[in-house]
Amino acid sequence: MGKLRLQNLTRGGKIRIGLLALALILPFLPFISDYVLHIAILVLLYMILALGLNIVPGFNGLLDLGYVGFYGIGAYTSGLLTYHLGLSFWVIIPLAFINGAIWGILLGAPTLRLTGDYFAIVTFGFSELVVLFLTNEIWLTRGPLGLPGIDVVSIDLTLFGGPKWEFIGELPYYYLAIVMVLVTVFVMYRIQDSRLGRAWFAIRDDEVAAVSCGIKLLAYKVIAFAISAAFGAVGGSFFARWMTFLSPDMFKFWESFLILCMIVLGGMGNIWGVMIGALVLVSMSEVLREILPLLGLPVQSRFLAFGLIMVLMMRYRPAGIMPIAAVAAKMRAGRVKRKKVKPAVGIKK
């Protein structure tokens, strides 16, 4: 790595630093109300989730339909630990990470040897079971009654004789979310450039070739799944401490689909693409929520649009708005353009 000077940065790098700076000063710009911050935090949360999900379809080429299950597990872990034991958020994050990873391994180990379709369905079944469990086991989760009154995040230095700052309002959560996103992006980049990441890409691009290079398929896939689940759980734990209220119907399949939409739209496998996808989808969602009633269309059209977007994206730009060359090539490889050949003279059908 060369010296990190401003002139050494690529154009892309400069844009990203600029965006980061913009994000940091956002709350102080005019017209930015708590509502905008709320949406911004939602965007950042979905960025973390999308980056987590990205590992499985984006880096590994498998379809995970049950991501919301890990999100829910993480959220309820965080919520319940806070509610009953009053644990600090900073302790909960690593716990949630580990919990998510454990569940990822538990679910992944028996299922990752299946073909893609079966794996997708099994993950879907898993997330539905998670929701059912969260809803029905009232003794543990309070089920549909919801879990209100979760403490907010706080930085507690009382042990060292310092003050205790509680996170009140959207602003502290906004910066916390930015920090979490930065950490996640950093981790993703390190993984991408590591041996682990390269093994994953090999698996994605051609499994047979990967195996013949000595890559243990199942082990790497399980690791991928576990890390993806871990990030989902971390996102969930943030969500619990931010909304301070949990209810099982926040974790339906629709969330999995939404996050999938984000990575499909943005560019599967592309870290920045995925983040753009999250930004676009969440903002568009809110913009549409405002505009649609004014245009006289039902708000339902928003969901319709998402379904349509998925279909169109897969048809025309399956690798997303910001495609990665490898993924784009793979998606294109199968599609041979059929030319209409005029039959030679004399040959009739």
Partner 1 sequence: MFLQQLVNGLTIGGIYAMIAVGYTMIYGVIQLINFAHGEIYMLGAFFAITFISFLGLPFYVAFLVAMACCAVCGVLLDIVAYRPLRQSPRLAALITAIGMSIFLQNLAMIIWGSRPKPFPHGALPAYFEKTAVTFGGVNLSWFHLFIFTITIIMMVGLNLIIKKTKWGKAMRAVAQNKTMAALTGINVNRVISYTFALAGALGGAAGIMVGAFYNAIFPTMGYVAGVKAFAAAVLGGIGSVPGAMLGGVILGVAEALGAGYLSSLYRDGISYAVMIIVIILIPAGLFGKVLKETKKSM
Partner 2 sequence: MKKRQSFLFVGLLVCVALVFGMTSGAMAGKIRIGVAAPFTGNLASYGDNIKAGVNLKLKEINDAGGINGQKVQLVWGDDLCQPKDAGIVGAKFAADKSIVAVIGHLCSSATLAAMPIYVRAGLPALSPTSTNPTIGDVGKGWFFRNCYTDDFQGKYLASYVVPKLLGKKKVAIFYENNDYAIGLKDSFVAGAKSAGLTVTGAEAYMTGTTDFTPQLTKLLRDKPETIFLCGYHPEGALIAGQSRKLGFNGPLFGADGIDNEDYIKIGGKAADNTYCTVPFLAASAGPAGKDFAKQYKKAYGRDVDWMSANAYDCLGILAQVIGKVGTDRKKIRDGLAAMNWPQFGYKGVTGLTYFNEKGDCSKPAFVKKVENGKFVAAK
Question: Smallest distance, Å, CB 17 to partner 1?
Answer: 33
Q: Does 153 bind partner 2 (CB under 8 A)?
A: no
Tokens of 226: 């576990």
Residue ranges in 155-184 that form contacts with partner 2 under rule CB under 8 A = 168-170
Question: Smallest distance, Å, CB 2 to partner 2?
Answer: 23
Q: Does 145 bind partner 1 (CB under 8 A)?
A: no
Residue ranges in 102-121 that form contacts with partner 1 under rule CB under 8 A = 110-111, 113-118, 120-121
Q: Does residue 324 contact residue 270 with C-beta atoms inside 8 Å?
A: yes
Q: Does 306 bind partner 2 (CB under 8 A)?
A: no
With CB under 5 to 8 Å by kind, the binding choice for 87 among partner 1, partner 2, none is none
With CB under 5 to 8 Å by kind, the binding choice for 117 among partner 1, partner 2, none is partner 1
Residue from 41, 93, 122, 185 touching partner 1 (CB under 8 A): that is 122
Longest dimension (CA), the chain: 97
**Angle subtended at Cα 63 by Cα 59 and Cα 67, rounded to the nearest 5 degrees:** 95
Alpha helix (H) residue ranges in 206-251: 207-212, 217-243
Residue from 88, 154, 192, 244 touching partner 2 (CB under 8 A): that is 244
Residue 17: closest CA among 180, 152, 182: 182
Q: Does 219 bind partner 1 (CB under 8 A)?
A: yes
Range in contact with partner 2 (rule: CB under 8 A) among 54-62, 191-199, 202-210, 241-249: 241-249
- Tally of CB atoms within 10 A around 90: 11
Q: Does 289 bind partner 2 (CB under 8 A)?
A: yes
Q: Does residue 53 contact residue 235 with C-beta atoms inside 8 Å?
A: no
Element (H, E) at 155: strand 154-156
CA distance 270 to 55: 10
Q: Does 143 bind partner 2 (CB under 8 A)?
A: yes
Question: Smallest distance, Å, CB 156 to partner 2?
Answer: 20
51, burial (CB in 10 Å: exposed 0-12, middle 13-18, buried 19+): buried
Specify the 3-state DSSP secondary structure of 156: strand
Please enumerate in sequence order all residues whose Cβ is within 8 A of that of 262, keeping only pairs 6 or more positions apart, or say none.
Answer: 46, 50, 274, 277, 278, 280, 281
Q: Does residue 248 contact residue 72 with C-beta atoms inside 8 Å?
A: yes
Which residues of this chain interact with partner 2, rule CB under 8 A?
11, 15, 31, 33-36, 38-39, 42, 132, 135-136, 138, 143-146, 148-149, 168-170, 243-247, 249-250, 276, 280, 283, 286-287, 289-291, 293, 298-300, 321-322
Which residues of this chain interact with partner 1, rule CB under 8 A?
57, 61-63, 65, 110-111, 113-118, 120-122, 124-126, 128-129, 132, 135-136, 207-208, 211, 216-219, 257, 260, 264, 298, 300-301, 303-304, 306-311, 314-315, 318, 330-331, 334-336
